[in-house]
């Protein structure tokens, strides 16, 4: 009896199983009609609803330009080219600005040096300095100015002292220039013009071409050391 029941159950399972499989294949998969939301990454606005289905008459999202990988690659290359062009344009403007600035600095620096040399040479000639051409040579023009201002030119060696040496030499040079200003008939305080932009050129112009008086400076000559004759 038990064997008969087992046989009937097995027969029933084998009969109904194929019918269930066929029924499952015939059933349609439910379609999700929920619209897809598209969020524009370049804005914070609320997303708009766009439906993406294969049915006819669907309102496609024609505002989306990069629907394919080729379009995305083409657009990326275009953006890269635009970025490179903008970078080159910016670099060109920077190079042009740097070139104009450098040209202005060279012209202004050279013109200022020539004017200062001419003024110092004229001052030296009128004050009886032996070698007024020193005004054109670096270092020698500093020696000339210190001598015209009654200062020891050996003080320039203080520049060898790091830091404070340059500050001391600057103070000594201002004192020498103040003495020259006084010798040319002006008040010593006029030397404060050097604290104003382009004031140094104004001061040199007044001392060289508009002096109120002229006090000569004893000539500084480079004479060889005197030979000593031994006495008996």
Q: Is residue 174 predicted with pLDDT exceeding 90?
A: yes
- Residues 173 and 158: beta-carbon distance below 8 Å: no
Chain-centroid distance, C-alpha 158: 35
The dihedral through the CA atoms of 164, 170, 174, 180 has a sign that is positive
Q: For the segment 199-228, what is each residue's pLDDT rounded down to a tens digit?
A: 999 999 999 998 887 766 555 443 333 444
Whole-number pLDDT of residue 25: 56
Whole-number pLDDT of residue 93: 76
- Residues 181 and 188: beta-carbon distance below 8 Å: yes
Q: For the segment 9-20, what is each residue's pLDDT rounded down to a tens digit?
A: 666 656 655 665
pLDDT band at 98 (very low <50, low <70, confident <90, very high): confident
Instruction: Select from 52, 77, 72 the least CA-distant residue to 62.
Output: 52
Whole-number pLDDT of residue 89: 77
Q: Is residue 56 predicted with pLDDT exceeding 60?
A: no
**Average pLDDT score over residue span 134-143:** 94
Whole-number pLDDT of residue 76: 58
Residue with tokens 């104009």: 100
30 is written with which tokens?
A: 């439910």
Which residues lie across from 159 on neighbouring strands?
none
Whole-number pLDDT of residue 227: 42
Whole-number pLDDT of residue 155: 94
């Amino acid at each position: 009896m038990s064997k008969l029941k087992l046989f009937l159950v097995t027969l029933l399972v084998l009969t109904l199983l194929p019918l269930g499989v066929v029924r499952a294949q015939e059933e349609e998969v439910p379609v999700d009609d929920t619209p897809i939301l598209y969020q524009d990454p370049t804005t914070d606005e609320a997303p708009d609803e766009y439906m993406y289905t294969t049915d006819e008459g669907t309102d496609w999202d024609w505002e989306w330009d990069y629907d394919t990988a080729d379009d995305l690659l083409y657009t990326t290359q275009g953006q890269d080219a635009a970025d490179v062009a903008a970078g080159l344009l910016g670099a060109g403007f920077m190079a042009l600005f740097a070139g104009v600035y450098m040209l202005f600095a060279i012209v202004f620096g050279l013109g200022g040096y020539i004017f200062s040399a001419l003024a110092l040479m004229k001052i030296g000639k009128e004050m009886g300095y032996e070698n007024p051409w020193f005004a054109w040579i670096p270092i020698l023009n500093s020696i000339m100015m210190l001598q015209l201002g009654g200062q020891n030119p050996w003080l320039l060696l203080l520049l060898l002292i790091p830091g404070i040496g340059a500050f001391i030499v600057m103070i000594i040079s201002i004192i020498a220039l103040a003495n020259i200003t006084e010798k040319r008939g002006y008040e010593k305080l006029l030397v404060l013009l050097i604290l104003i932009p382009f004031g140094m050129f104004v001061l040199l112009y007044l001392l060289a071409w508009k002096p109120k008086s002229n006090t000569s400076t004893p000539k500084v000559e480079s004479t060889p050391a005197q030979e000593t004759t031994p006495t008996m």
